[in-house]
C-alpha cells in the first residue's frame, strides 16, 4: 500500500507544482498584449535586438546601434541573452510578448523541477521536496524580480540542475555528468546571469571542497573543477566579449546600503509584500530590491535542516547554507565594515594602531602558516591518491591562495595583486595558473579512468 502511494505521489506533486506555478504567474498570463513595466523595457529591448538582427539583417546581434550611440550587443553584460539560448527559436517564431511570457513560465518550471530532483538526493519525502521546490523557485524574491523585469534572475533556475549534475558526477565519477553541469553553467552565462553565475561557482566550489573533506575522497573537488572549467570554456565567447566591453566602459557602482536584523526578518517573513509596498523603511530603491518572502514554514524547515542534517552530503550542505547565510548577513547588515571599524577603534584604544603594518604582516604570516598546515593535512589525506588528484589539489590550493590574498585586502597586498603583468593583473595570473592546473589534472584523471 505504501509503495503504491509513493508511486502516485510524485505525479500528483508534479501536477500541484505546475498548478502552483500557473497560479503565481496568472496575472502575467492573463494579458498577452502588454510588454511589462520598470526594467522590462530594457530586458525586452535586449531580446528584440537578437530578433531584429537575425530576422531583418541576417546577422548575429554583435552590435547595438541604438544603445548609447552604439555599443557591443553581445558584449553587453545583459545583452542578447536569448541568442545562445534554448529560447531562441521561440523568439524568432513567436510574438515578442508571447516569447517573454513563455520564457518566464518555462524558467519557473525548470527551477521547480530542478529543485525537486535535487532534493530527492537528500530526502525521500515527496511533500518536503515539493515544499523546497516552491521555496526556491517561486519565493517572494523570485516573484518581485520577475515582476519588474530583472530577467537575469531567471537564470537561477539552472542552479539546482548544475548541483544535481555535479552531485551525480561526484558519486559515480562519470565525466559526462560533470560536463553536463558545465554546459548548464555556460547557458547561465549566455543568459546573462550576472549574479546567478558567480553565486553558482561559489556554491559549487565550497560544496565540493566540503564533500571531499567529509568523504575523504578527492573526486568531488576534481569533478567540480571539471564542471567549472567546462562552463568557462563553453561560455568563453560571451565572457571575453563582456570583458572587452567592460575594459573600455567600466561600470563601478558603490553598494553601501545596509539594514538591521529586524528589517531582514520582515523581508523574510512578512506575507504582505508587493511591488510598491514598504513594510519597513529601506535606505534606497523600491521594495522589489529588498523583498524576499519565504514564510515561517520554510524558515522553520531550513532551521531544522541546519540543526539535524547528517551524513557527508548533509553536513556539507549544512555548512554551505550557513556560509550563504553569513554572506547574506554581511551584505545586508554590513558586518565586515562593523568588524573593521571595531578593530580600528580597539587598536586605537589600546595604543597599537600605529603598528598596524606590523600587525598586518603578522596576520599574513599566520595565514601562510595556516595554509601550510592545511597543505600538509591534504598531503596526508591524499598520499594514496592518484597523481591527477594530487595535482588538482595543488591547483585548488593556488586558487584558494588567490582568494585569501584578495580577502586580506591590505593596501600593499592590493597593490601587488592588481599590478599589471603583460596586460593582466598579477592576481589574475595566479588565478589562471590554478585553473590550468585543475584542467590538466582533470584531463589526466580522465585518461587514467579510461585505462582502468
Q: What is the mean pLDDT of residues 414-428?
A: 59
Task: Return the beta strands (E) in 275-431 as ranges.
Answer: 420-421, 424-425
For the stretch 134-178, pLDDT in tens is 999 999 999 999 999 999 999 999 999 999 999 999 999 898 999
pLDDT tier for residue 424 given thresholds of 50, 70 and 90: low
* Residue 262 to residues 259, 267, 285, 332, Cα–Cα distance (Å): 8, 9, 19, 11
Q: Most confidently modeled of 81-90, 199-208, 324-333?
A: 81-90
pLDDT at position 173: 87
pLDDT at position 149: 93
Query: Helix (H, G, I), strand (E, B), or coil: what is residue 165?
Result: helix
Instruction: In the chain, count H helices and then E strands.
Output: 19, 4
With beta carbons less than 8 A apart as the criterion, state whether 244 and 75 touch.
yes
Nearest Cα to Cα of residue 122 among 316, 296, 324, 319: 316
pLDDT at position 352: 75
Q: What is the mean pLDDT of residues 65-82?
A: 92
With beta carbons less than 8 A apart as the criterion, state whether 123 and 263 touch.
no
Non-local (6+) Cβ contacts of 91 within 8 A are 47, 50, 51, 82, 99
pLDDT at position 217: 85
pLDDT at position 408: 55
Q: Residue 333 pLDDT > 70, yes or no?
A: no
Give 257's strand partners. none
CA atoms within 13 A of residue 313's CA, in its CB half-sphere: 13
Q: What is the mean pLDDT of residues 106-124?
A: 94
Report the C-alpha gap between 288 and 96 in whole angstroms. Answer: 24
Give 424's strand partners. 421
pLDDT at position 416: 59
Between 247 and 137, whose confidence is greater?
Answer: 137
Q: What is the pTM (predicted TM-score) of this model?
A: 0.80
Report the C-alpha gap between 237 and 189 in whole angstroms. Answer: 10
pLDDT at position 197: 93
Q: Residue 263 pLDDT > 70, yes or no?
A: yes
Nearest Cα to Cα of residue 189 among 167, 224, 162, 149: 162
Residue 273: φ, ψ to 5°: -70, 130
For the stretch 185-232, pLDDT in tens is 999 999 999 999 999 998 998 899 889 888 888 889 889 989 998 999
pLDDT tier for residue 370 given thresholds of 50, 70 and 90: confident
* Residue 67 to residues 70, 76, 203, 248, Cα–Cα distance (Å): 5, 10, 34, 15
Report the C-alpha gap between 166 and 160 in whole angstroms. Answer: 10
Report the C-alpha gap between 133 and 45 in whole angstroms. Answer: 31
With beta carbons less than 8 A apart as the criterion, state whether 210 and 41 touch.
no
Q: What is the mean pLDDT of residues 11-17?
A: 92
Exposed/middle/buried for 239, CB within 10 Å: 0-12, 13-18, 19+?
middle
pLDDT tier for residue 85 given thresholds of 50, 70 and 90: very high
Report the C-alpha gap between 67 and 76 in whole angstroms. Answer: 10
Amino acid at each position: 500500500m505504501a509503495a503504491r502511494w509513493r508511486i502516485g505521489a510524485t505525479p500528483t506533486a508534479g501536477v500541484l507544482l505546475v498548478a502552483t506555478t500557473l497560479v503565481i504567474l496568472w496575472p502575467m498570463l492573463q494579458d498577452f498584449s502588454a510588454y511589462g513595466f520598470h526594467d522590462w523595457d530594457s530586458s525586452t529591448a535586449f531580446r528584440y535586438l537578437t530578433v531584429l538582427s537575425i530576422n531583418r539583417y541576417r546577422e548575429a546581434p554583435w552590435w547595438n546601434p541604438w544603445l548609447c550611440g552604439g555599443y557591443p550587443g553581445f558584449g553587453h553584460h545583459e545583452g542578447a541573452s536569448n541568442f545562445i539560448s534554448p529560447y531562441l527559436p521561440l523568439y524568432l517564431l513567436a510574438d515578442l510578448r508571447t516569447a517573454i511570457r513563455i520564457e518566464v513560465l518555462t524558467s519557473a518550471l525548470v527551477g521547480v523541477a530542478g529543485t525537486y530532483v535535487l532534493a530527492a538526493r537528500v530526502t525521500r519525502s515527496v511533500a518536503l521536496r515539493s515544499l523546497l521546490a516552491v521555496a526556491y523557485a517561486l519565493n517572494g524574491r523570485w516573484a518581485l524580480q520577475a515582476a519588474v523585469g530583472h530577467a537575469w534572475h531567471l537564470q537561477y533556475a539552472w542552479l539546482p540542475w548544475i548541483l544535481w549534475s555535479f552531485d551525480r558526477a561526484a558519486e559515480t565519477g562519470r565525466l559526462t555528468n560533470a560536463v553536463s553541469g558545465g554546459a548548464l553553467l555556460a547557458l547561465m552565462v549566455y543568459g546573462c546571469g550576472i549574479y546567478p553565475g558567480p553565486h553558482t561557482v561559489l556554491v559549487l566550489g565550497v560544496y565540493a571542497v566540503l564533500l571531499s573533506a567529509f568523504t575523504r575522497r578527492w573526486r568531488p573537488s576534481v569533478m567540480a573543477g571539471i564542471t567549472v572549467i567546462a562552463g568557462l570554456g563553453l561560455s568563453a565567447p560571451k565572457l571575453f566579449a563582456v570583458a572587452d566591453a567592460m575594459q573600455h566602459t567600466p561600470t563601478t557602482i558603490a553598494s553601501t546600503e545596509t539594514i538591521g536584523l529586524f528589517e531582514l526578518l520582515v523581508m523574510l517573513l512578512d506575507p504582505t509584500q508587493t511591488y510598491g509596498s514598504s513594510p519597513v523603511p529601506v535606505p534606497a530603491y523600491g521594495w522589489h530590491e529588498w523583498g524576499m518572502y519565504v514564510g515561517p514554514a520554510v524558515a522553520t524547515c531550513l532551521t531544522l535542516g541546519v540543526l539535524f542534517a547528517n551524513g557527508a552530503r548533509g553536513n556539507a550542505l549544512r555548512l554551505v547554507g550557513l556560509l550563504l547565510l553569513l554572506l547574506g548577513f554581511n551584505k545586508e547588515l554590513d558586518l565586515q565594515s562593523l568588524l573593521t571599524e571595531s578593530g580600528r577603534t580597539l587598536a586605537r584604544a589600546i595604543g597599537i594602531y600605529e603598528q598596524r603594518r606590523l600587525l598586518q604582516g603578522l596576520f599574513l604570516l599566520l595565514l601562510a602558516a595556516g595554509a601550510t598546515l592545511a597543505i600538509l593535512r591534504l598531503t596526508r589525506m591524499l598520499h594514496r591518491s592518484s597523481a591527477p588528484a594530487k595535482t588538482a589539489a595543488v591547483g585548488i590550493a593556488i586558487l584558494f591562495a588567490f582568494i585569501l590574498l584578495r580577502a586580506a585586502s591590505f593596501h600593499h597586498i592590493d597593490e601587488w595583486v592588481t599590478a599589471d603583468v603583460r596586460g593582466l593583473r598579477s592576481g589574475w595570473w595566479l588565478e589562471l595558473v590554478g585553473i590550468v592546473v585543475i584542467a590538466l589534472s582533470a584531463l589526466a584523471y580522465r585518461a587514467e579512468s579510461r585505462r582502468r
